[in-house]
Structure 1
Amino acid sequence: MTSYNKNYIEIIGAKVHNLKNVNIRIKRNSFTVFTGLSGSGKSSLAFDTLFAEGQRRYVESLSSYARQFLGKIEKPAVDHINGISPAISIEQKVNTRNPRSTVGTTTEIYDYLKLLYARIGKTYAKDSNELVKRHSHTDVLQFLGKISKDERFLILAPCGEENRSISWIKSLKIKGYSRLFYKNEIVSIEDIGIDQKTEWNKLYLLIDRFAGNEFDEDETLRLTDSIQTAFYEGHNKCSVFLYQKGSYKSFNKDFEHNGVTYIEPSLHLFSFNNPLGACPKCEGFGSVIGIDPELVIPDKGLSIYQGAVACWKGEKMSEWLDQVVLNAEKTSFPIHKSYASLSQEEKEQIWNGTDHFHGIHDFFKFLEQNSYKIQYRVMISRYRGKTPCPECEGTRLRSDTRYIKVGDRNINELVNMSISDLSAFFNRLRLSEFEENMCKRILSELRFRLDYMLDVGLGYLTVNRSSNSLSGGESQRIQLATSLGSSLVGSMYILDEPSIGLHPRDTKRLITVLRKLNKLGNTLIVVEHDEDIMDEADEIVDLG
């Protein structure tokens, strides 16, 4: 058996494509650049020989059961390859066509965002922006511990909608209760008169009475027992009435606020691939088939008067334009201003209409209502296309996630930020000590991945950007950042011209990333022509 140096990868007799019996030794755990003229065999040596043989040997190491699903990989035209490591190819091509795949899911940034919001996300009420919380008897005790020493208070069980009947009053008598609290007064159950004028929302069952905020052991046990009884009788609701202030403090074991029930933060709630978290209208895709604004207004440099709205042309359809022109003065709508210069409010007027003229949406509703006519069906089809979902606005998640925030931002706002803005947000994020301890590892992984995305020059992308809309170079650099984030060692990475499309400033940052990947203990082989990357290489192989 021929001996070989374990510190080198030896290729003997490579004959793939343009290669003519090539022999070469590449130092392991080094940074090697393959360069040369077009057609000289750089890619044939790197991808069709080294990578192909690395993949073939990996597949052959699997069980026969696993190999039947992978298919047979042909051995490349080469006599011998010694010292080869498991190979990972990062080429300039978009690897996924899955419409659900995004930059966030590919880089795992979104996975860590989901974990962060599931762990420390706080839900705020839709109407009042107050914190929504599931209370326990401990919360009631903490509240009572902060009141003044002279304060007298009552522990009450509110009368819920399911209890608003005479039969409920009778059942309280059977249970042994004797007092109610109605309109800020204590009344006997025997004396309460129930009729159509009874204000049930002001009726409470009196559980117990206390004074002050200092309790001995027996009083604490009694108070705790009274609070738990109030939660039971009030169907998970409990109220405290403070005599001096004449005010109520309500507690609720259910996750609700002002009668509105909210969904508690969980991992599935923030996943658009799960029925619980996906937007019900677009089912987590972020887009629906609707009227495409780009087709309706193709030239934004035109004014409405000049015919910016393409569907309002022609003898019949121009009537819609005429009614806008004739009534625009009543709403001060600028018909001679280019569409691109209109404010957001003015754009909404032309789309949604006003009290004095119909908008574009009204026009298409008219076409839908008369779609039994073939000419209207044809016109609708001309302007149909994929548009952002009107319910989730392209974020793919159900509307409930908008009320769950970390650092005054919900997850929908974060996924629409650029990577650079998102990195700045997490660098200035300040959490409580408890939250910091809960999410220390999550935050470090998030910052780690965001920094690598910046290092490969992709700070302008958003987390919500669809993977199938990326260019080949962007997709390659995302894979590079993901590989670095995985901290894999002992592998052979083969890259195809990663510097293409990069600004010279970003090339230096890319070199830093490549060096980090190399220093982890990986062999790096890069097909490249960029002088800066060639200068940084440990070895250069010039073919041709």
Structure 2
Amino acid sequence: MSVDPSGLTREDVVDATPIGVNIRSTVATYSGILDNLRRAYGATDAARERGLAAGDFSYNTGSLRCPRCEGTGQVVLDVQFLPDVDIPCPDCTGSRYAPAANDVLLDTAGGRFTLPGVLALTVREAYEVLASLPKVRRKLRTLKDLGLGYLTLGEDTPALSGGEAQRLKLAGELGRDQSGTLFILDEPTVGLHPLDTRVLIKVLDRLLAKGATIVVIEHDLDLIANADHVIDLGSGGGEAGGRIIATGTPDDVAANPASSTGRYLRALLQGDG
């Protein structure tokens, strides 16, 4: 991807570190989707009849959160002589909400859903169901584009893999002007199907179109083949690595006989891999 160090004003390291350790953080909260959903549920007739507003639908502080687990969806089981064990809350079965939350339903393209029911949907399912909420759907589309369509909206972010965490962090950047921003991505294709890798490449192209500069540390040949400039380090790992073996366009590296990466890259570019 493009590297232009001139005019950079912000560095954004999109790495594989977990997104916090707080189990209150979910895909829906981190992406901002829950805020939009709370407002939508708070505006329903059923909510108004019960004197409920958007704030009541927060599982962190709202009146509809499960009183037993206080909105975490988990309780600690004290096992004698063994470490404590976290289990799904017996009262809310992990939904984080009290039964009263099931009294408020939202009319959607897929039927009538409670908020706990929506949070149990995958990103892909929610994208189809929530067609009447354009702001939510835009965010869901971004998550889908990043290959995260299989995650549920209520999924705890600390439990995500490194690759999933990177892509979720990246999702928040796509709607902004990225002029003067340097992104550093560490192995963003980890866990991705080859088709999802192609989608990721399109997403990175969208960031470039918004003025971003992107540096990617990567082993995936499809991503390398789409770079503007490649720096091939090697020739092995550990003490046998760390030296610059080849630089240039993907074609330049593919033509360099000293590059092991180049040999496989050449096969890919020629259609043999």
User: TM-score, normalising length from structure 2?
Assistant: 0.77
For residue 102 of structure 1, the aligned residue among 13, 17, 26 is 26
* CA offsets 1:219-274 (integer angstroms, 9 cap, x no match): xxxxxxxxxxxxxxxxxxxxxxxxxxxxxxxxxxxx4xxxxxxx333111110121
Relative contact order (alpha carbons < 8 A, sep ≥ 6): 1 or 2 greater?
Answer: 1
SS at match of 2:173: helix
Aligned to 2:255: none
* CA offsets 1:127-148 (integer angstroms, 9 cap, x no match): xxxxx87xxxxxxxxxxxxxxx
Contact 1:93 1:473 in 2 (8 A): no
SS at match of 1:526: strand
Aligned to 1:268: 55
Deviation at 1:398, TM superposition (A): 2.4
Larger radius of gyration: 1
1:538 equivalent in alignment to 2:228: yes
* CA offsets 1:275-316 (integer angstroms, 9 cap, x no match): 52321111111111248xxxxxxxxxxxxxxxxxxxxxxxxx
Contact 1:118 1:265 in 2 (8 A): yes
CA distance in 2, matches of 1:104, 1:398: 18
Deviation at 1:473, TM superposition (A): 0.9
Aligned to 2:236: none
Residue segments in structure 1 that go unaligned for 5+ positions in a row = 1-30, 34-49, 51-80, 124-131, 134-254, 256-262, 292-376, 430-442
CA distance in 2, matches of 1:274, 1:383: 29
Aligned to 1:387: 87
- One-letter amino acid matched to 2:116: N
Aligned to 1:422: 126
- One-letter amino acid matched to 1:266: A
1:288 equivalent in alignment to 2:67: no
CA distance in 1, matches of 2:6, 2:85: 54
For residue 103 of structure 2, the aligned residue among 374, 396, 403 is 403
Deviation at 1:384, TM superposition (A): 6.2
- One-letter amino acid matched to 2:22: N
* CA offsets 1:95-145 (integer angstroms, 9 cap, x no match): 3011211111111111111121112x242xxxxxxxx87xxxxxxxxxxxx
CA distance in 1, matches of 2:195, 2:102: 37
- One-letter amino acid matched to 2:149: G
Aligned to 1:467: 157
Contact 2:40 2:54 in 1 (8 A): no
Q: Which runs of 4+ in 1 moved over 4 A?
A: 381-384
Deviation at 1:502, TM superposition (A): 0.6
Q: Which aligned pairs between 1:105-254 and structure 2 lie closer than 5 A?
A: 105-119=29-43, 121-123=44-46
For residue 2 of structure 2, the aligned residue among 23, 32, 40 is 32
Aligned to 1:498: 188
CA distance in 1, matches of 2:62, 2:209: 43
CA distance in 1, matches of 2:7, 2:204: 22
- One-letter amino acid matched to 1:470: L
Do the aligned partners of residues 266 and 501 (structure 1) sit closer, same or farther apart at CA in structure 2, a change above 3 Å counting? same
SS at match of 1:447: helix
- One-letter amino acid matched to 2:213: T
- One-letter amino acid matched to 2:59: F
Deviation at 1:450, TM superposition (A): 0.5
* CA offsets 1:492-517 (integer angstroms, 9 cap, x no match): 11111111111101001111111111
CA distance in 1, matches of 2:159, 2:137: 25
Contact 1:419 1:462 in 2 (8 A): yes
Do the aligned partners of residues 535 and 411 (structure 1) sit closer, same or farther apart at CA in structure 2, a change above 3 Å counting? same
Deviation at 1:422, TM superposition (A): 0.7
- One-letter amino acid matched to 1:529: H
Deviation at 1:399, TM superposition (A): 2.1
Aligned to 2:12: 88
Q: Which aligned pairs between 1:6-25 and structure 2 lie closer than 5 A?
A: none
SS at match of 2:2: strand
Residue segments in structure 2 that go unaligned for 5+ positions in a row = 234-243, 245-273
1:489 equivalent in alignment to 2:178: yes
Contact 2:121 2:152 in 1 (8 A): yes
Do the aligned partners of residues 535 and 394 (structure 1) sit closer, same or farther apart at CA in structure 2, a change above 3 Å counting? same
User: TM-score, normalising length from structure 1?
Assistant: 0.40
Contact 1:415 1:464 in 2 (8 A): yes
Contact 1:272 1:283 in 2 (8 A): yes
Q: Which aligned pairs between 1:43-62 and structure 2 lie closer than 5 A?
A: none
